[in-house]
Amino acid sequence: MTRIAFLGTPGAAIPTLDRLVSDFDVALVITQPDRPKGRSGRPEPPPVKTRADELGLAVAQPSGSSEIEGMLVEAGPFDVGVVVAFGMLIKPGALAQPARGMLNVHFSLLPRWRGAAPVARALMAGDPMIGVTIIELDENLDTGPVLTAQAVDIQREENAGELTDRLAGLGGNLLANVLPAYLIGELVPVPQVEAGATYASKLTPDDRPIRPEMSSLDAINRIRGLSPLPGATLDLDGEPHKILRARASEHSPEPGVYKVIDGIPVAGIADGGVELVEIQPPGGRAMSGAEWARGRRSQTGPFR
């Protein structure tokens, strides 16, 4: 049976892992180290490690990319490696260990949105379409030749978490369908075109604030692209709040001011108003904008 080394870290990688386990021999799972999480600061395993343990699979957790090659050599040989949102650089020596190299399940229609945050960047840019591309990994960033790709329309109010879940399921099935033909040489990858290539840079704190000078479309797209994590932010009355869902409003408060109108908070920005549909106050739980507004003494105030 085909021996696979699987490299992945977040929950979005689990559908591919599950799909591979059903049809192939996943002989090793490589994932990132346990990290401190929550207020306790206690280390917790990444989702892929938890799932691999449930499936009874061998797990390795390198502290750095230099350790990956040795892990593959020790547990090998492998027919192919599969990488899904691993989050760590894979050096050429490690890429060369499996007999057929390593394949990547990438959540965009390459060459658009090469890089770390393709789903977030696609939503923030207002793209109407996205997809999954299966590529051979090379030494550069998401530039390897393409085995196959499948496009999907982005739904009007879909956020990054919802879209990622949808793409994750699609990616696992897409890979499993083409992998047998690839392994016997019947499916030959084709080089990527460079026309239209864009880079999905890693999200930073500077991406999160919603500012009064933004258009309503840009603000809503940013909120969708960053929800549920890390979350776009508004400082309401001097306190940073995560804004998890929003929609355009027919009301237009002054830019830089929010008002509770018909029980719903509306933020005024450059070209109108944005209804704050779901809000998470600092240190609190996510709630509807209406629930948040009911707990406020003031029905208007500044934001920045």
Host H or E run for residue 276: strand 272-280
Q: What is the rounded CA–CA span in Å between residue 251 and residue 276?
A: 12
pLDDT in tens, 65-84: 999 999 999 998 999 999 99
The residue type at 36? P
Q: Is pLDDT of 41 > 90? A: no
Judged by DSSP in three states, 293 sits in helix
d(CA 263, CA 220): 20
How do residues 119-151 score in pLDDT, each as one tens digit? 999 999 999 999 999 999 999 999 999 999 999
Q: Which is it for the CA torsion 225, 157, 218, 213, positive or negative? A: negative
pLDDT of the residue at 42:
87
DSSP at 204: -
Q: What is the DSSP letter of 12?
A: G
**Residue 139: DSSP 8-state:** S
Whether residue 4 contacts residue 82, with contact meaning beta carbons closer than 8 Å, is answered with yes
pTM: 0.94
What tens digit of pLDDT does each residue of 171-199 get?
999 999 999 999 999 999 999 999 989 99
